[in-house]
Amino acid sequence: MTMTELASAAASLVSGGRGILPLEQPPAIANAQLALLGITRSEDARIAFRELAITAPGLERYVSGVLLDREALRQRTSAGRRFVDVLRARGIVPGIALAGDAVPLPAAPGETVVEGLDGLRGRIAEAAALGAGFATFGATFTADDAGLPSDRAIAANVHALARFAALAQERRIVPFVHVAVDCESAPAMDACADATERILRALVAELAACGVALDALILQPAMVTPGADVTQRADAATVVSATLRVLGATVPVAVAGIAFTAGGAEEHDATEYLCAMNRTMPRRRPWPLTFSFGGDVRERALGAWRGRDERVAEAQRELVRAAQSSGLAACGAYVVPAGERRTAAAAA
């Protein structure tokens, strides 16, 4: 695959109102979720849930990629087909979550640096050989009203993210660069926006320094929202304005697209915010804006399934309904169902 073809693959992952469905929980986390619903903790149960998810009728209309972990990338359906082959046959790209370890940054209280670059080239090569078409790798930054994240924390983490992106493109896998900003200690929206802007500005510079092709890369940030301790929920207009201002000031138009995570927002709120952004003037959003929401989708489907064969179809319908909401938001066409809480009017 050439870099031009990789850029086309990146563009297809964020086009047509489709987004990413994360199913990448490692066994320990997946088992904990199963146990909460009284489902036997086992690999068979993990396979059964993932199979019902990736075979859900109509999923390909709203999902362009499914994020898997190393276990799921090797698993097969009950009929013996590899998950990656089932997804590819439906026009859905399988991906791999390459998580690094967040360890304390020396002489920087409260801040961390992501590790996990050692051996990453080999892990990416292995994932590519198994059929993955994209990969995610991320770093978490702490933001507060006193000026965190520090310049040292930003520099250390964006260097790791840029090296990951370069290694992924080397193996012709689309890199999703995940930037998580923990704003729990920064209740003010301005502090969260300032931290996100400084991080993204440094990240873009480091990507350029590492020779990363921006048109074959997808940025995976959270939206700019106030800290979790804030009791007043931000309305859509405020989130849209802050998020698009930060992105416009930092992210080159060449970037293939932006796949938002829910971040500190509830996923139904994040869906409203995404829809509001996609209703703004195109010049304010020169990149495709789509979703990488997953926690609420998984929980709703798991709750409908509860490990019972006779409930597979209902769980699949619940999964697709949730994916449809996010897909409509990526097209600016989401309408909050009657009776659900909604934000203030979307920004025009």
Q: What is the mean pLDDT of each run of 10 residues along the chain (348 residues)?
A: 97 96 91 91 95 97 96 96 98 94 90 92 97 97 89 96 98 97 78 94 98 98 78 79 97 98 82 95 96 84 94 96 94 80 42
Extended strands (E) in the chain: 19-23, 63-68, 93-97, 101-104, 112-115, 134-144, 174-185, 218-221, 257-260, 289-291
Tens digit of each residue's pLDDT (9 = 90 or more) over 36-60? 989 989 999 999 999 999 999 999 9
Dist CA 99 CA 139 (whole Å): 9
- From first CA to last CA, the distance across the chain in angstroms is 40
Question: Residue for token digits 């301005």?
Answer: 190
**Which structure tokens are listed for 211?**
């020779």
Q: Are 304 and 298 in contact (CB under 8 A)?
A: no
Q: What is the pTM of this model?
A: 0.93
- Predicted confidence at residue 284, as pLDDT, reads 94
- Predicted confidence at residue 343, as pLDDT, reads 43
Query: Which domains, and CATH codes, for the chain?
Result: 3-330 (3.20.20.70)
- Predicted confidence at residue 81, as pLDDT, reads 97
- Alpha-helical (H) ranges within 111-150 are 120-130
Q: Are 50 and 86 in contact (CB under 8 A)?
A: no
**Max Cα separation, the chain?**
56
- Predicted confidence at residue 345, as pLDDT, reads 39
- Predicted confidence at residue 132, as pLDDT, reads 98
**Which structure tokens are listed for 13?**
């992952």
- Predicted confidence at residue 57, as pLDDT, reads 97
Helix 236-250, helix 267-277: angle, nearest 10: 60
Tens digit of each residue's pLDDT (9 = 90 or more) over 173-205? 999 999 999 887 666 788 899 999 999 999 999
Q: Are 49 and 302 in contact (CB under 8 A)?
A: yes
- Predicted confidence at residue 340, as pLDDT, reads 58
Tens digit of each residue's pLDDT (9 = 90 or more) over 45-98? 999 999 999 999 999 999 999 999 999 999 999 999 999 999 999 999 999 999
Dist CA 71 CA 46 (whole Å): 10
Among residues 64, 60, 49, 52, which one has the least CA distance to residue 8?
Answer: 64
Q: Are 256 and 14 in contact (CB under 8 A)?
A: yes
Q: Are 163 and 137 in contact (CB under 8 A)?
A: no
